[in-house]
Structure 1
Amino acid sequence: MNTVTRPRILVVGAGFAGVECVRRLERKLSPDEADVTLVTPFAYQLYLPLLPQVASGVLTPQSIAVSLRRSKKYRTRIIPGGAIGVDLKSKVCVIRTITDQIVNEPYDYIVLAPGSITRTFDIPGLTDHAFGMKTLAEAAYIRDHVISQLDLADASQDPVERASRLQFVVVGGGYAGTETAACLQRLTHAAVKRYPRLDPGLIKWHLIDIAPKLMPELGEKLGSSAQEILRRRGIEISLGVSIAKAGPEEVTFTDGRVIPTRTLIWTAGVVASPLIATLGAETVKGRLAVAPEMNLPGNDGVFALGDSAAVPDLAKGDGAMCPPTAQHALRQGRHVADNVIASLRGGPMRPYVHKDLGLVVDLGGTDAVSKPLGIELRGVPAQAVARGYHWSALRTNVAKTRVMTNWLLNAVAGDDFVRTGFQARKAARLKDFEYTDAYLTPEQVRAHVEGTARQE
């Protein structure tokens, strides 16, 4: 078959869903059946659930960033850049490369797995003064920032400034927020012992969430156990509360409290990538509405999955949608690859069905709560299940070896309280990491594609 006539399969996003899809396409398609292209700003797959452990220094950043270029046997072409628009009618994806060049990438089949971004609200000062926990850079930056607060508090002669630098606020009582607060609290608790001039009693962590319960998916008993563990460590938990205003040196809660702090970490949920809005297609709470087969009705060759797609959860029924979790993304990636191949070969596509295997929450040290297959676990057994699950989900043996080595080294030698220099220049906040202003509107996408076509 001539190279020019081979079908072009374009996969957008290198998260769990996108990478699993690409790897399965490579395994099941012969080289002359189709050309496979992957669009991603970074040539690695990030294992997001372990980001809090990078922020706390238990794991190195490299250990959870699995290189996509390591193996020589893969034949997928990688475009370093981000998809900023899709013209469904012309079957063209508009890409901003890492050199800021805007290019058109035509496709016959497109798999949209661009993931999600941090969900924010119109709260004064939020994007200017809060940190996120969604990218590898943010996790590494937060670690630097938290340690720098201890250094600056130790150097300060002003008791008011010292107290404000030693208070930390985490917004979001889901898995990301709870694990972030738990892991970073352990870091500061261990680090303050190396600062003789600092009073450990001044270090205060606040975990707040607008919901009435912490991690309600865990159930009443495990959720209460997690709260008890955190409160025992001294973390103040406030439920039914959010942020009214954020400033450079204080945060105002919706219940009127004003907390002097230089550290606000925002983990209050995610929303679908802004790329989805460029399609002009039907959405469900911002996620692209797809069929159970994960194809977009009325658009031949368009598939979507992961955090950006509202995939019907047939295992639950009653109109439920699959939650944006790693276990669904991994399985959806493999399943959508099979459906793309079936569509390519003229075969029938199958609906996606997966029964949730349970939940794991690593609170650092020997503290954890887990619910594998509905069995409630706490303490060391829960920690073994949580880390075992994460370890087995890592895609390569190299990544597994690095993570296991980091865990063992941390258990034996403890933490290192080293700053890497991110704080030496201009401070960065949530708005500086996710580039949400890079996307086009549907009208801009069409105008760009049509203008390029006329020039050709």
Structure 2
Amino acid sequence: MSTVPARHYDVVILGGGFAGVYCAQQATKRLKGTGKTVALIAAENHMVFQPMLPEVVGGSLSPRHVVNPIRLICPRADVLKGTVFALDLHHKTLTLTGGQFTPDVKVTFDHLVLCLGADVDVSRIPGMAEHAYLMRNVGDAMKLRAAIISRMEEANLISDETTRRKLLNFVVVGGGYSGVETAGQIMDLLHSVSKFYENIKPEDFSVSLIHSGEHLLPMLSTSLATYTEKKLSEMGVKLMLKQRVRSVTARFVVLEDGTKLEATSVVCTVGNAPHPLIVRLGQQRALTVERNKVMVNPTGQALGQTHVWSAGDCASFPKSGGGSCPETAQFAYRQGLMIGDNIALAMKGEMLKTFDFKGLGELASIGHRSAVANMMGFNFSGILAWFMWRTVYLMKLPGLDRKLRVMTEWTFDLFFPRDINLLTPQYSSPMEEMHLEAGDILFLSGEPAQSFYAVKQGRVNITDDKNEVVKSATKGDHFGERALLGDRIWRFNATAMEPTTLVAISARTFDKLVSSIGSLSQLFKRTAETYDRPQDIEHVLAKLPQRCRSGVARDLMITDVAVLREDGMLSEALELFQKERHSTYPVVDASGHVRGVLRRNECYQWLKHHAMDEKARVRDLPLHRPLFIAPDMPLPDVFETLIRTGASKAIISGSDFKLQGMLTLFDLLTCPVTPEATPAEVAVPVM
């Protein structure tokens, strides 16, 4: 693999949220004309204005109006779309991957800003990951809105009232900002569009909001929380406070007290999890990480660091007056701006600023032109708070063009019905077919492993750094399990040797399969052992007796083999099983040509479904194609072939496929030190 030269930046910012984007804006502004370079690395090329995602669900806003291209917001920064999978703070280097067909990019830096935000993990509640809709990005909001309209279309075709109402039960889990705003928007949408469905009445649909606390919106005052609960109840939202979800199925939400709620649409707004890169840095003790957040000084510098900074949801940022800053946009925005300033000051050797922002207040839209707000210590509610909510967030929205578009859409929303087009987003399947031509490279050593592959047609060679073949995968073979079960880094290269069709299974789907099917896990762990480098095999060979390293297959093969004829009766096979207790038996025709091998345990499995059929012949049993080895193949090559194929036994035969003997891996590993005479050719025993 060719070495890609590293790109160097004076400042590298990880994360495309509020903290990362505004840090990049401020840093490039302060460093303008100095020749210093700034790069922003993000998984997406756009910034999501998350406070407005519920408006996308409710159809008040178009999805494209709540996202902004980072390149337009930060025109002076280099924007790199990719995922960082290796970070070395000591040597100030990181490696990112940008996609399946993009080579890894190595980046060096002088200052690093971690604004990675939080991840999501709903696996702690059984069934939540499989059956719930999330509210993390624009795709989630579009998918949820499409699901709501789809449920309405389906329910409109149902004549039975009970069945129709079950289908139109919506459950939202989580009573924070996202949960409250999403529940209100869903109810608003249902009321607005139900009049266009002749078979659906307002009493047919319901929205339930489940929250573990005593009041919704615990970050606001009790009076505002109570007002929120009152308004949502008046809208028809069923509040279930002091309740936790135990599990979720395709048709039910089960609460901790055993209550079952019938629902086919569940929205999850809880389940925040730390970013994996932050967790890794904490485990490596590269940074001070507590409760999965980077501990920082009031200047934004990570504790004990001068060139590493952090802001936003992944940082524990001290708040003026004590405690830590809340995980809200207004704090992340200002933290990013201050760090941008401080990096410029640090480069000049000047005194750094400290964070003293205390917050302007909190706002939450609860739907139906109503909101709650706490601004400058004063509480507001109703339509005035709703007007304040829209005004504040409109001003915060980056870009004049987005402000005008959103203002126009909100104005239209006052006079025209909401859009009920069912535009179902098409999502990538966890299993995809891909075609490679001869010479195409699938992956290279050192790249991150993101898929498991099965060969549908063609051939892929897995080679090491010396270009020696580790495995040649043909039709029916698979590869990739070693990397996915390990550190998720490819240790070999994969190249198509002819036109090839592969089935690619995503790493996430692979994990689910392996974790849920024990036998599959054991299979992949066993096949992963076949990917040994030539030097690893040579190391083992060096420990074997000289005879196993200098002889050929016929020197160690077993000639007294228990053999079955393909036209023999089933009863004869069972008699042989009792007489010669082996796991595998060669099956030959009348001329001694090998037609396959029969595994004893699979014969017994066959009998469970076919009983003792007196007419059954050996050829009717499940036969497998054996591994054929030439009698003059050197024993080191035999050893490597057995390892590469994962086989423990091989049939010794010439080009005519006539059985001459068998050789097992056990025979190679336990061959006697004292050489014996080479056996002569012997006739195949006939039964």
For residues 46-83 of structure 1, the C-alpha deviation after alignment (integer angstroms, 9 at most, x for no partner) is 11101100111101111111122337x82311111122
Compare 415-424 and 300-309 and name the one that shifted more. 415-424
Whether 1:291 aligns to 2:292 is no
Whether 1:308 aligns to 2:314 is yes
Secondary structure (helix, strand or coil) at the match of 2:355 reads coil
Instruction: Choose which of 359, 364, 367 in structure 2 pairs with 1:361.
Output: 364
| TM-superposed deviation, 1:274 | 2.1
Quote the residue 2:465 is aligned against. Answer: none
Quote the residue 1:453 is aligned against. Answer: none
| TM-superposed deviation, 1:405 | 0.6
Segments of structure 1 that go 5 or more residues without pairing to the other structure are 428-436, 449-456
Whether 1:372 aligns to 2:375 is yes
Paired amino acid for 1:332: Q
The whole-number CA distance in structure 1 between the counterparts of 2:401 and 2:202 is: 39
Quote the residue 1:172 is aligned against. Answer: 174
TM-score (norm 2): 0.59
Instruction: Choose which of 394, 401, 413 in structure 1 pairs with 2:404.
Output: 401
Q: Tell me, yes or no, if the aligned pair for 1:172 and 1:269 is still in contact at 8 Å.
A: no
Compare 324-333 and 293-302 and name the one that shifted more. 293-302
Structure 1 residues 444, 183: CA separation in 2 closer, same or farther (over 3 Å shift)? same
Whether 1:228 aligns to 2:230 is yes
Quote the residue 2:20 is aligned against. Answer: 18
The whole-number CA distance in structure 1 between the counterparts of 2:391 and 2:274 is: 29
Structure 1 residues 5, 288: CA separation in 2 closer, same or farther (over 3 Å shift)? closer
Structure 1 residues 12, 221: CA separation in 2 closer, same or farther (over 3 Å shift)? same
Instruction: Choose which of 58, 61, 79 in structure 2 pairs with 1:59.
Output: 61
Segments of structure 2 that go 5 or more residues without pairing to the other structure are 1-5, 431-448, 451-482, 491-687
Structure 1 residues 84, 411: CA separation in 2 closer, same or farther (over 3 Å shift)? farther
The whole-number CA distance in structure 1 between the counterparts of 2:196 and 2:146 is: 16
Secondary structure (helix, strand or coil) at the match of 2:72 reads coil
Structure 1 residues 159, 426: CA separation in 2 closer, same or farther (over 3 Å shift)? farther
Paired amino acid for 2:124: D
Quote the residue 2:138 is aligned against. Answer: 136
Structure 1 residues 115, 425: CA separation in 2 closer, same or farther (over 3 Å shift)? closer
Larger helix proportion of the pair = 1
The whole-number CA distance in structure 2 between the counterparts of 1:88 and 1:426 is: 36
The whole-number CA distance in structure 1 between the counterparts of 2:420 and 2:119 is: 29
Secondary structure (helix, strand or coil) at the match of 1:207 reads strand
Q: Tell me, yes or no, if the aligned pair for 1:241 and 1:254 is still in contact at 8 Å.
A: yes
Q: Tell me, yes or no, if the aligned pair for 2:7 and 2:106 is still in contact at 8 Å.
A: no
Structure 1 residues 165, 266: CA separation in 2 closer, same or farther (over 3 Å shift)? same
For residues 334-374 of structure 1, the C-alpha deviation after alignment (integer angstroms, 9 at most, x for no partner) is 10011111122222222211011101111223211111111
Structure 1 residues 80, 302: CA separation in 2 closer, same or farther (over 3 Å shift)? same
Paired amino acid for 1:358: G
Q: Name the % identity.
A: 28
Secondary structure (helix, strand or coil) at the match of 1:376 reads strand
Paired amino acid for 1:339: N
Structure 1 residues 81, 423: CA separation in 2 closer, same or farther (over 3 Å shift)? closer
| TM-superposed deviation, 1:269 | 5.3
- In our comparison, the structure showing a higher alpha carbon Rg is 2
For residues 70-105 of structure 1, the C-alpha deviation after alignment (integer angstroms, 9 at most, x for no partner) is 37x823111111223422122122322134644332
| TM-superposed deviation, 1:299 | 2.8
Quote the residue 1:420 is aligned against. Answer: 423
Compare 249-258 and 130-139 and name the one that shifted more. 249-258
The whole-number CA distance in structure 2 between the counterparts of 1:65 and 1:7 is: 26
Secondary structure (helix, strand or coil) at the match of 1:344 reads helix
Quote the residue 2:165 is aligned against. Answer: 163
Quote the residue 2:621 is aligned against. Answer: none
Whether 1:327 aligns to 2:333 is no
Structure 1 residues 198, 425: CA separation in 2 closer, same or farther (over 3 Å shift)? farther
The whole-number CA distance in structure 2 between the counterparts of 1:444 and 1:58 is: 44
Matches within 5 A, 1:434-445: none
Q: Tell me, yes or no, if the aligned pair for 1:6 and 1:32 is still in contact at 8 Å.
A: no
Paired amino acid for 1:14: G
Paired amino acid for 1:34: K
Secondary structure (helix, strand or coil) at the match of 2:82 reads strand
Whether 1:91 aligns to 2:92 is yes
Q: Tell me, yes or no, if the aligned pair for 2:288 and 2:303 is still in contact at 8 Å.
A: no
Whether 1:204 aligns to 2:210 is no
Quote the residue 2:71 is aligned against. Answer: 69
Matches within 5 A, 1:4-43: 8-43=10-45
Pairs aligned (count): 429
Secondary structure (helix, strand or coil) at the match of 1:361 reads strand
For residues 202-228 of structure 1, the C-alpha deviation after alignment (integer angstroms, 9 at most, x for no partner) is 211100111111112221111100000
Structure 1 residues 425, 204: CA separation in 2 closer, same or farther (over 3 Å shift)? farther
| TM-superposed deviation, 1:40 | 1.2
Secondary structure (helix, strand or coil) at the match of 1:366 reads coil
Secondary structure (helix, strand or coil) at the match of 1:341 reads helix
Quote the residue 2:663 is aligned against. Answer: none
The whole-number CA distance in structure 2 between the counterparts of 1:361 and 1:298 is: 38
The whole-number CA distance in structure 2 between the counterparts of 1:109 and 1:130 is: 39
Q: Tell me, yes or no, if the aligned pair for 1:12 and 1:111 is still in contact at 8 Å.
A: yes
Structure 1 residues 199, 300: CA separation in 2 closer, same or farther (over 3 Å shift)? same
TM-score (norm 1): 0.88
